[in-house]
Structure 1
Amino acid sequence: MTDQTRFLQIHTLTPYIGVLLNRDDVGQAKRLPLGGTIRGRVSSQCQKRHWRRATGEWSLMPLGNLAIRSRQTFVKHVAEPLTNDEGLDPEKVAEAVLAIQAELLGESKKAAAKKKAEDYVAELKTNQVIVLGHAEIEYVKSLVRTLVADTASMKELKAAVAALLKKEKPNFASMREGAGLDAALFGRMITGDILARSDAAVHVAHAFTVNALETEPDYFTAVDDITQDSGEQGSGHINISELTSGLYYSYVVIDLPLLVSNLQGCHQRDWANADRSLAGKVVEQLIGLIATVSPGAKLGSTAPYGSADTVVVEAGNRQPRSLANAFYKPVLARNDLREAASGELLKHLTRLDGMYGRAEMRQASSLIDNFSIDGRAPVPLPDLAAWAGAIAAGTLPFKPEA
């Protein structure tokens, strides 16, 4: 296994000016205390959601079906299509769906008994957002469709449901691997025994500014055209928002054995010999998404679109480690914060190599003048993404000196 890379680490530095990327519960920019100063922050959840839903050249969507994340999946994608579109008996559909839902989510018999099939729209909503893939949803629909069609009464249906739950237990258990491409990457949390949690193969840190948070209150008004035209003074709306500027460091780790296992349904110990072509394509697209997709609120008023100035990818076998400590002290720069931050990133990397030894292959893309990584000039982002994809696919062996 020494010729196989187990982890990919992606580090980026991305500038944003006059934006509100990720808001907290009171509408202000999310924050993070670090090194005695307050920094701007973008949560990992925010980043992952934008990557999952991104379209364009780096989109994950062409590579496979993405999961549906909702509390209403059993209502909107199972019960309603079977009753409204296919004309099946609503009460029988609800009874069957309730039983299968309870089995999948690990609901107690006592809790399931309290539910009323006639009010299925309310009862089929889950207490938490669940992650189900399209294949899983279609499978559940097919089971319910068959149960309803093959039974003449509610009594027969309940007996058929009980028999089916026993018969389908192996198939229910296999649904762990059917949660969709994004669940294979980012995991899913389910409380039930059957749809147990799937561990995330992609680990995403909260991004933060390498400089102290810079904010500006944005006082704005909306003009009422009708009252203004009639000569009335004042505005139709007055409000205030918060805008921030900063250079964000983000850090992502890809666990390749787990990624291949999640995508192919194989055991992690067999990942190196599995078909890794899809993993290679996924990694290539993900590198592009991380570098180019902006998480952002207030799209219409701030156009918060930015791409990374610097992207560093490391491939190795030992435990990953963030380069966040390069910015434990806020970066101060009179001329160019971007150049100063890239320099701090490289200096910290050099210090880590000096203390622990170098055990990773590295490549980078960067807009910064005279930027180099391990003595090599940066490459275009598509080349960097293809390099990482080849590592994930197993076509590029692990050679730390390369």
Structure 2
Amino acid sequence: MTNTYTNTRIEYHILQSFPVTCLNRDDVGAPKTAIVGGVTRARVSSQCWKRQVRLALHEIGMVGGTRTKLIAGLIADACMRLDATQDQAVACGNKIEQIFIKKKEAKPKKGKADIEENDQPSSEGEKTDTLLFLSPNEVQIIAHAFREAGFDPDAVIKQKDAKKQAAELAQLIGQINEHIDALDIALFGRMVAQAASMNVEAAASFAHAISTHKVSNEVEFFTALDDLQEEPGSAHMGSLEFNSATYYRYISLDLGQLAQTMGEEDLKKAIAAFTQALFVAVPSARQTTQSGASPWEFARVMVRKGQRLQVPFETPVKAREGGYLQPSIDALRSYLDKKEKLAGSLFGKQEAYDWGENEDFSIDHLVAALQTHIR
């Protein structure tokens, strides 16, 4: 079947300003940074913002997958809903989970102490190695297969070798499930090392969000008082790092890949949900003490074919008229307009939409405009 949307993408170029925040922390609790154009920029990792987009999709009401190492419980619960006994459900769940168990190799025994230690039974000898991402439909397919076999695990997964069992599971799902029903799996992809046929290519690509300008992290010193303490002075002192920045976010949505994974029937709904999730999603770090609640300030959203195009902001913008936002908007527009002229026919633009300056063009209007590109 011909994919109508092959090599067609929606590209989101978003500018978003945050005041005092720590949107994404590193291993010592400081806001993440990066060196771009020879200067330090504030940074929010792609995986951080993707997580929030995924959660926002669930809140919007889209069908989402479950990503977990607790595979046995997920399958067991589905079997229980199909009238399996608890013992049957647990056995079926364990059968699926053991496919993805990584067995640890025993350490060489060196001395008496080691021998005594290694001879003790260990509950840590086996562990689930895979954070498996399954859609609701896939979970149901597995549970129904067990029910048809009288909840006999060995009648469904017949192979003994783990790799062959994984292939057997993938074949079971693939025979019935032509398209993935979970939007988040279609957007963010899935990799299953034990069963490559279960892999799903991600339709969405996220760049790390960076500040358009130079940023230096600052330190907040704080104290806490004891309500019952009679002596003067604080009961606790501490410090937290923070910054403030205008961030540039780049996200690309491959419509061809999304159609291949989900089917073309749900593309309009998927585009609407994804755009809305991008709009509302904000990283959750320190939201109770440094509430980062800033929506988009400006966005240029393009529907185009050909090579993806990200604005590098290699030259940091300078504050003008008291802020970074307007010079960032000007720099973004100038860069994209220039690249469009230089690329000529290879730019492949079908349409571009500027959001944020015309009050009569809301996020709902943007969604509706993007949906017109789906036939």
TM-score by length of 2: 0.81
Distance in 2, matches of 1:384 and 1:53, equals 22
Q: Following the alignment from structure 1 to structure 2, what is the Cα–Cα distance between the partners of residues 130 and 167?
A: 16
Structure 2: any 5+ residue segments left out of the alignment?
A: 107-120
Change (3 A) 1:201 1:158: closer
Q: The residue matched to 2:158 in structure 1 has which SS?
A: helix
Q: Aligned ranges for residues 3-402 of structure 1 at < 5 Å?
A: 6-54=8-56, 59=57, 61=59, 64-72=62-70, 74-79=71-76, 88=85, 90=87, 93-102=89-98, 105=100, 111=103, 126-145=128-147, 147=149, 149=150, 158=154, 161-162=157-158, 170-174=171-175, 177-178=179-180, 180-193=182-195, 196-227=198-229, 231-264=230-263, 274-275=264-265, 278-324=266-312, 327-335=313-321, 336-357=323-344, 359-360=348-349, 361-367=351-357, 379-391=361-373, 393-394=374-375
Relative to its length, the structure with more helix (as a share) is 1
CA distance in 2, matches of 1:346, 1:217: 34
- TM-superposed CA distance for 1:140, in Å, is 2.4
CA contact (8 A) 1:13 1:247 kept: yes
Query: Aligned equivalents of 2:168 and 2:189: distance in 1?
Result: 28
AA aligned to 2:262 is L
Q: Percent identity?
A: 23
Secondary structure, counterpart of 1:339 in structure 2: helix
SS, match of residue 220 in structure 1? strand
What one-letter code is carried by the residue in structure 1 that aligns with 2:348? A
Structure 2 Cα separation of the partners of residues 169 and 340 of structure 1: 51
Whole-Å separation in 2 of the counterparts to 1:66 and 1:86: 24
Distance 1:252 1:15 in 2: 17
- 8 A contact 1:63–1:282 mirrored in 2: no
SS at match of 1:171: helix
How many residues align structurally? 347
**1-structure distance, mates of 2:284, 2:170:** 43
1:318 to partner: Cα distance? 1.3
Q: Deviations over 1:268-304 (max 9, x none)?
A: xxxxxx43xx211221232232233222311111111
Work out the CA distance in 1 between the residues paired with 2:180 and 2:362. Answer: 35
* 2: CA distance, partners of 1:186 / 1:51: 10
RMSD between superposed Cα atoms in Å: 3.5
* 1:54-79 residue CA offsets vs partner (Å, 9 max, x unmatched): 2xxxx45555420111111x233223
Do the aligned residues in 2 keep the contact of 1:35 with 1:330 (CA within 8 Å)? yes
Tell me the CA shift for residue 379 of structure 1.
3.0
The letter of the residue matching 2:306 is: R
Residue type matched to 1:330 in 2?
P
User: 1:349–1:168: structure 2 CA closer, same or farther, 3 Å change rule?
Assistant: closer
What is the CA deviation profile of residues 248-274 of structure 1, one whole-angstrom value per residue up to 9, with x for unaligned ones? 00001111011111112xxxxxxxxx4
- Cα gap change, 1:169/1:12 in structure 2, threshold over 3 Å: closer, same or farther? closer
Residue 100 of structure 1: how far off its partner (Å)? 3.4
User: Are 1:204 and 1:251, in contact at CA under 8 Å, matched by a contact in 2?
Assistant: yes
Asked if the contact 1:71–1:125 (Cα under 8 Å) also holds between the matched residues in 2, the reply is no
Equivalent residues of 1:7, 1:255 under 8 A apart:
yes
Distance in 1, matches of 2:133 and 2:170, equals 19
Report if aligned partners of 2:60, 2:273 keep a CA contact under 8 Å in 1: no
Change (3 A) 1:313 1:159: closer
Name the CA shift for 1:235/1:349 in 2 (closer, same or farther; >3 Å). same
